[in-house]
Amino acid sequence: MSEPERGWRKAKPTDLDAVRFFMSEREAFATGLSGRILAPAGGLKLPTRPGGLYVFQGDQIEALAAFMSTGTTFPIAPSEGSFDRFLSLRRLSALRTYRPASCVGLAATVDDLESAFAWTPACRINYRVMSLDRGDFKPSARTAASVRRAGPKDLDALYPLAEAYEKEEVITALHRFAPGVCRAQQARSLCEQIVYLVEADGRVAARAQTNARGWTRDQIGGVFVIPAFRGRGLGRLAVETLVRDRLEAGRGLSLFVKESNDVATGLYVSMGFRMQGSYRVDYFR
């Protein structure tokens, strides 16, 4: 029997098992991608043109790159030889008209893909990517505040936190805040993700939620405490409650936090999260 030809090809729905195996071993740093390509019914949700999900395969998948129709690109590849792999990917005619809006992943992999495709980002945001498994969790929240899981009826109460979070943590000089989009995203999260809120002094003061759900892990994102309530342990309470919920469901956790945010990094380390590497989100004009 001849050896399978190694190289890039566009993924098909029948690649579900191979993609699931590849991604499950890498969700400690790539849950965000899993959440984009895992359909609610359990199949593959393949990006539409001009993008696509591409796999580099020999006997099994060795590398993967998702080019989303929104312009977001997620590359995953072993460090050795990744530039050459991406250079061969660039030669595919189907990607010649693709225009990136952002590139997301481990910093070294992002660098290799951007170099291979001759992409020059206008803005780079550096993060640390971290993960947590059940045996590593170290809960310690001590506060009398009320915490509960949120639902669609909490949209109005949560929207001010969603808006403040977007403006403080997400919006760059390249972007404009869009209230309607922000509200729609929070509404979608309340229906599709796991959201916890903390109430203090008669109002919602803190939020923690998942923003991607993969095969084996859920990704935490959107953690925010209203400035007037910071320093009271409310963020820790929200995150620990969410973490406990997900661990009891048999899930692992992942997240990424800005390299400049030492307070948040210290909080997650104290809970048992482990560093997985340097992570980057690059934006293009």
Question: What's the CATH number where 73 sits?
Answer: 3.40.630
b/e code 159-174 from CB counts within 10 Å (16+ = b): bebbbbbbeebeeeee
Please check the confidence at residue 225 and state whether its pLDDT lies above 70: yes
In the chain, the percentage of residues whose pLDDT exceeds 90 is 93
Asked if residue 162 and residue 68 are part of one domain, the reply reads no
Asked if residue 168 and residue 107 are part of one domain, the reply reads no
Examine the fold and report which residue of 88, 120, 152 is the final residue of a domain before the chain moves on: 120
User: How far, rounded to the nearest angstrom, does the alpha carbon of residue 208 sit from its chain's CA centroid?
Assistant: 14
* pLDDT bracket for residue 1 (50, 70, 90): very low
Per-residue model confidence (pLDDT) at position 197:
98
Two tokens, residue 88: 């061969």
Tally of domains in the chain: 2
| 3-state SS assignment for residue 21 | helix
Note the pLDDT tens digit of each residue in 144-197. Answer: 789 999 999 999 999 999 999 999 999 999 999 999 999 999 999 999 999 999
Name the helix (H) or strand (E) containing 191. Answer: helix 179-192
Asked if residue 141 and residue 27 are part of one domain, the reply reads no
Single pTM value for the model: 0.94
Please state, in angstroms and rounded to a whole number, the distance separating the CA atoms of residues 198 and 234.
Answer: 7
Mean pLDDT of 267-282: 97
Please check the confidence at residue 3 and state whether its pLDDT lies above 70: no
Asked if residue 155 and residue 66 are part of one domain, the reply reads no
Question: Residues 261, 130: contact at Cβ < 8 Å?
Answer: no
Asked if residue 267 and residue 170 are part of one domain, the reply reads yes
Please check the confidence at residue 93 and state whether its pLDDT lies above 90: no
Residue spans of beta strands (DSSP E) within the chain? 7-10, 52-57, 61-67, 72-76, 102-106, 123-132, 146-149, 195-200, 203-213, 217-225, 252-258, 274-283
Please state, in angstroms and rounded to a whole number, the distance separating the CA atoms of residues 221 and 159.
Answer: 15
Examine the fold and report which residue of 120, 149, 176 is the final residue of a domain before the chain moves on: 120
Per-residue model confidence (pLDDT) at position 258:
97
Question: Residues 56, 77: contact at Cβ < 8 Å?
Answer: yes
Mean pLDDT of 115-139: 97
Asked if residue 49 and residue 165 are part of one domain, the reply reads no
Please check the confidence at residue 109 and state whether its pLDDT lies above 70: yes
Note the pLDDT tens digit of each residue in 48-85. Answer: 988 999 999 988 999 999 999 999 999 999 989 999 99
Please state, in angstroms and rounded to a whole number, the distance separating the CA atoms of residues 95 and 224.
Answer: 37
Please check the confidence at residue 244 and state whether its pLDDT lies above 90: yes
Note the pLDDT tens digit of each residue in 190-218. Answer: 999 999 999 999 999 999 999 999 999 99
Structural domain that includes position 221: 131-277
Question: Residues 229, 205: contact at Cβ < 8 Å?
Answer: yes
- Residue 231, domain CATH: 3.40.630.30
Strand order in the sheet with 7-10: 7-10, 52-57, 61-67, 72-76, 102-106, 274-283, 123-132, 252-258, 217-225, 203-213, 195-200, 146-149
Examine the fold and report which residue of 93, 120, 147 is the final residue of a domain before the chain moves on: 120
